[in-house]
Every structure is written in structure tokens, then in C-alpha cells.
């Protein structure tokens, strides 16, 4: 019996370990920026909303196309009361219709030609679907920028944490040196207190940046719509991607949306103009009406017709004037959006150039700060400088490292902003997928 229980316990433990290890493995996502953009495109709630809307617009396109087809209708009614019509005859007034009767119609009707009203309606439905797809691209492009900014900020925070930890290590080493000098009576208590204060300050900075990292992770999780903990991985951006597509106006969704809205007004103007022309239609059907005074209750009919509006109270004229003004407005918006896009591109290029130069300068400053620290350590060992000078030299190394990582972060942000300004940032996930 006890042996059986032991076997069950072992089986339970094995399954428990397998289950928990799976959870632990799935509880963390290790992502580079390409993968983060891909996750955003797949999981963001905004993407799902626009994708559902695009599917809905597809059904509206089919609805619009149905206007090209004939319409088949059935109409059935029962008349409860009717003042029996009578006809004058040589034999007197004779009834021609029952006071109560069943009536039904089966009608096949079709609009033969309307000078483009239906086609305009279909084109507008197709254009509306295209606009939804463009709005999705705009949101993906803007969202991808938010993701990359948050991603880079988290990368920077991790680097800052490393710098502060290295700073803490350096200060701890300096404290050992100062403590040794203090025990020998070579320095005063003030030097010991100074280094202790700086170590305390560094510990405070570590705690603050750890809190920032936790908050940034939560923000990134929200943007990606994931529940797992996230670990970001650095990845170099191939600069050839920046110049892969020279197009600016053609790719930026905002410009395409503005241009499509102008086209939409053209289609609406076409429909208004066409409404002033005749409409040709045809109809065929079967008519049934109970009538004991007739030889037959049913008859077939086939007809063609012409419908022309002679007066509409200037409805079409007023609508046309309104659409022309809206078209002028949207044409001006196209020019405005192009100006904004041009500004975005120019600023991104300028930021990129500046960040490249700042990175080079910051990298050289690290070597200079380390060399200065080595010199100051030697001078302090000979008691030529105070602890204040030694601490300042140590902190300069940290400051140089921080400046370098901030410059690198600015460079990455400038790269992503340039891709965003060209409407291409959200495609970085596709680049990863195709690799």
C-alpha cells in the first residue's frame, strides 16, 4: 500500500514539475524590436478593431454591387373592405370588383441605365474599404512608433542600471581605499562620510531605475497586449533599410487618406450630376387578384419606363455646391499633410545626423573619463587630491557612459522616426518574417 502511494506521489511530482516548468517558460517573452513590432501588429486591440471594420466594409461592398442585379419582389395582401366599383353599361351599373379579395404580385424589376449612379455607389463602397485599410496602416505605423520608443526606453533603462551598478562597484572599491587610508590616519573622517553618502546616492539611483524598468515593462506589455513578462534584446538596425524605399508621399498613410477623400468627393459629385438625368427601368411580373366579375384572376405584364426628375427644390444643386467646397477643403488638406510629412522627414534626418555625431563624441568621452579616473586614483594614492576629487572622477565615468547610451538611444529613435515618417515603420515586423 505504501509503495503504491509512493508511486502516485512520484507521478504527481513529475506532472507538477512539467506543468510548472511550462508555465515558467511561457511566463517571459524575450523580444528584439523587430519581434516587438510583429507582436504589436498581431495582438494590439486597435488592429483587431480595424480588421473587423474592414471585414464589415467588405460586406457593404457586396451590398453595393447587388444594385447591378434585378430585384424580385412578392407582395401579398387581403382587402377587408372595398366600396365595390361599378361600371356603367347599357344594362345599368354593374359591379367590377369584390368588396373583399386576396391580391398578390410577383415582380421582377431592373434599373437598366442610370448614368453612373449605381457605379458611383459601388466605387464609394470600395473606396470606403480602402480608407479603412489605410486607417489601419496609419494606426499600425503610429503604434509601431510608440512601441519602438517604449522598447528603446526600456533598453536604455537597462543600460543605465548597468552603469549605476558599475558605479556602485567603483565607489565600493574607492571606499575600501579610503577606509584603509583612514585606518592609517592619512585621511579624515570627512572622506569616509563623503564616500558613504555617494554610495547611498548610487543605491537610491539603482532603486529608482529599477522602478522605472518595472513601469516601462508594464507599458510595453500594454502596447503589445501580452500578459507575460518581457525581456528586451538589443539588435542592430540595418541602415540599408532606412534607404530601401525613397518614396515618402506615396507610402505615408495620412497622405493616401487625404487623396482618397478627394476621390470620394469626386464620386459623390458624379452621383449628384447623374441624378439629374433620366433613369431607364424595366419590369415584368405576375399579378393575381380575386375577382368573380372577371374571366381570370391573374395576368402577366412586361413594361419599360423612363423616370425624370423635373423639380427637386434645388436639392441636387445645393448638394453639388457643398461637395465642391468639401473637395476644395480636402485638396488643401492633401497639401497640408504633405507639408507635415516633409517636415517629419527633414527633422528625422537632422536628428539622425546629430545623434551619429553625438555617439562618436560620447564614445571618445568614455575613454577620456576612464583615463582621468586612473590618473586621479594615482594622485589620491599620493595624497595630492582630496576624496571629493576622486569621487568626482568616478562619477564622470558614469556620466560619460550615460551620455553614450543616451546618444545611442537617440540614434535608434531617429532611425525609427525616419521609417515612421515614410510610413514604413510597421513593416519592420514583415522584414523579420521574411528573413
Q: Is the model's pLDDT at 404 over the cut of 50? A: yes
Instruction: Select from 365, 364, 374 the least CA-distant residue to 399.
Output: 365
Compute how many other C-beta atoms are within 10 angstroms of the C-beta atom of residue 148.
25
Going by DSSP bridges, is the β-strand pair 229-232/28-31 parallel, antiparallel, or unpaired?
parallel
106 domain-assigned: no
Residue 21 has, within 13 A of its CA and on its CB side, a CA count of 6
59 domain-assigned: yes
Residue whose C-alpha cell is 522627414: 345
96 domain-assigned: no
Report how far Cα 164 is from the mean position of its chain's Cα atoms. Answer: 36
286 domain-assigned: no
102 domain-assigned: no
Domain CATH number, residue 370 = 1.20.1600.10
Min mean pLDDT across 63-77, 95-109, 344-358 is at 95-109
337 domain-assigned: yes
150 vs 99, higher pLDDT: 150
pTM exceeds 0.75 for this model: yes
Q: Is the model's pLDDT at 23 over the cut of 60? A: no
Instruction: Select from 392, 382, 396, 394 the least CA-distant residue to 187.
Output: 382
pLDDT score recorded for residue 417: 92
292 domain-assigned: no
Min mean pLDDT across 310-319, 328-337, 350-359, 408-417 is at 310-319
Average pLDDT, the chain: 85
Q: Is the model's pLDDT at 433 over the cut of 50? A: no
Instruction: Select from 390, 398, 9 the least CA-distant residue to 165.
Output: 398
Task: Compute φ and ψ for 81, nearest 5 degrees.
Answer: -145, 130
Min mean pLDDT across 34-43, 167-176, 423-432 is at 423-432
128 domain-assigned: yes
pLDDT in tens, 236-284: 877 766 666 556 667 789 999 999 999 999 999 998 888 888 889 899 9
pLDDT score recorded for residue 130: 92
pLDDT in tens, 314-335: 888 898 899 999 999 999 999 9
pLDDT score recorded for residue 206: 94
Q: Is the model's pLDDT at 8 over the cut of 60? A: no
| Number of structural domains the chain divides into | 1
pLDDT score recorded for residue 22: 43
293-316 burial by CB neighbour count: b if 16+ within 10 A, else e?
Answer: eeeeeeeeeeeeeeeeeeeeeeeb
DSSP string, 189-249: HHHHHHHHHHHHHHHHHHHHHHHHHHHHHHHHHHHHT--SEEEE---PPPGGGTTS---ST
What domain range is 139 assigned to?
A: 31-70+119-276+329-428
Q: Which 3 state secondary structure label does DSSP give 293? A: coil
Amino acid at each position: 500500500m505504501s509503495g503504491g502511494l509512493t508511486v502516485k506521489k512520484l507521478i504527481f511530482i513529475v506532472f507538477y514539475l512539467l506543468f510548472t516548468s511550462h508555465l515558467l517558460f511561457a511566463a517571459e517573452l524575450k523580444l528584439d524590436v523587430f519581434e516587438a513590432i510583429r507582436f504589436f501588429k498581431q495582438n494590439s486591440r486597435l488592429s483587431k478593431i480595424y480588421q473587423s471594420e474592414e471585414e464589415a466594409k467588405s460586406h457593404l461592398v457586396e451590398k453595393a454591387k447587388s444594385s447591378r442585379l434585378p430585384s424580385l419582389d412578392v407582395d401579398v395582401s387581403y382587402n377587408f373592405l372595398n366600396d365595390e366599383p361599378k361600371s356603367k353599361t347599357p344594362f345599368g351599373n354593374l359591379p367590377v370588383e369584390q368588396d373583399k379579395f386576396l391580391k398578390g404580385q410577383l415582380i421582377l424589376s431592373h434599373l437598366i441605365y442610370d448614368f453612373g449612379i449605381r457605379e458611383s455607389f459601388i466605387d464609394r463602397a470600395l473606396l470606403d474599404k480602402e480608407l479603412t485599410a489605410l486607417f489601419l496602416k496609419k494606426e499600425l505605423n503610429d503604434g509601431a512608433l510608440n512601441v519602438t520608443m517604449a522598447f528603446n526606453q526600456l533598453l536604455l533603462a537597462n543600460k543605465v542600471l548597468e552603469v549605476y551598478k558599475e558605479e556602485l562597484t567603483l565607489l565600493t572599491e574607492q571606499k575600501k581605499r579610503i577606509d584603509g587610508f583612514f585606518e592609517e590616519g592619512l585621511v579624515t573622517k570627512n572622506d569616509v562620510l563623503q564616500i558613504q553618502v555617494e554610495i547611498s546616492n548610487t543605491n537610491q539611483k539603482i532603486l529608482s531605475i529599477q522602478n522605472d524598468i518595472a513601469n516601462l515593462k508594464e507599458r510595453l506589455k500594454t502596447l503589445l497586449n501580452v500578459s507575460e513578462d518581457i525581456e528586451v534584446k538589443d539588435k542592430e538596425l540595418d541602415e540599408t533599410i532606412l534607404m530601401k524605399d525613397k518614396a515618402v508621399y506615396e507610402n505615408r498613410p495620412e497622405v493616401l487618406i487625404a487623396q482618397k477623400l478627394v476621390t470620394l468627393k469626386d464620386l459623390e459629385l458624379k452621383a449628384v450630376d447623374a441624378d439629374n438625368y433620366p433613369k431607364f427601368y424595366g419590369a415584368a411580373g405576375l399579378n393575381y387578384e380575386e375577382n368573380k366579375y372577371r374571366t381570370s384572376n391573374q395576368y402577366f405584364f412586361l413594361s419599360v419606363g423612363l423616370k425624370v426628375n423635373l423639380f427637386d427644390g434645388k436639392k441636387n444643386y445645393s448638394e453639388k455646391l457643398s461637395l465642391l467646397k468639401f473637395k476644395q477643403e480636402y485638396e488643401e488638406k492633401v497639401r497640408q499633410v504633405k507639408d507635415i510629412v516633409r517636415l517629419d522627414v527633414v527633422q528625422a534626418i537632422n536628428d539622425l545626423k546629430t545623434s551619429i555625431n553625438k555617439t562618436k563624441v560620447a564614445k571618445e568621452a568614455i575613454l577620456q573619463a576612464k583615463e582621468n579616473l586612473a590618473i586621479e586614483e594615482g594622485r589620491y594614492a599620493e595624497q595630492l587630491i582630496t576624496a571629493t576629487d576622486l569621487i568626482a572622477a568616478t562619477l564622470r565615468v558614469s556620466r560619460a557612459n550615460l551620455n553614450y547610451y543616451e546618444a545611442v538611444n537617440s540614434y535608434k529613435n531617429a532611425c525609427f522616426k525616419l521609417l515612421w515618417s515614410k510610413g514604413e515603420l510597421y513593416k519592420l515586423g514583415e522584414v523579420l518574417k521574411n528573413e
